[in-house]
Amino acid sequence: MLIPVRCWSCGKVIAHKYQEYLDAVEEGKDAGQVLHDLGFERYCCRRMFVGHIDLIDEVAPFSIERQQ
């Protein structure tokens, strides 16, 4: 689904850096170095990025359309 707003273990806000992380990794930069540059030193926060799988595009077609 969507990246959690905060790290599950330490509570640091992480979601605001997710798109920046994705863009840098897509450019071919090393994921570990990108996380270091973004200021994520603790491995609990780093695993939130590395272990995340974006499934929103897979799930969204099954959501119910809202009546306006």
Q: Give the nearest residue (CB) to Zn ion.
A: 7
Is residue 45 involved in binding Zn ion (CB under 5 A)?
yes
State yes or no: residue 34 binds Zn ion (CB under 5 A): no
Backbone torsion region of residue 24, taken as left when φ is above 0, otherwise alpha when ψ lies between -120 and 50, otherwise beta:
alpha
Per-residue CA distances from 11 to 5, 41, 44, 51, 62 (Å): 9, 14, 10, 17, 31
The reply on whether position 10 binds Zn ion by CB under 5 A is: yes
Q: Does 35 bind Zn ion (CB under 5 A)?
A: no
Using CB under 5 A, list all residues that contact Zn ion.
7, 9-10, 12, 42, 44-45
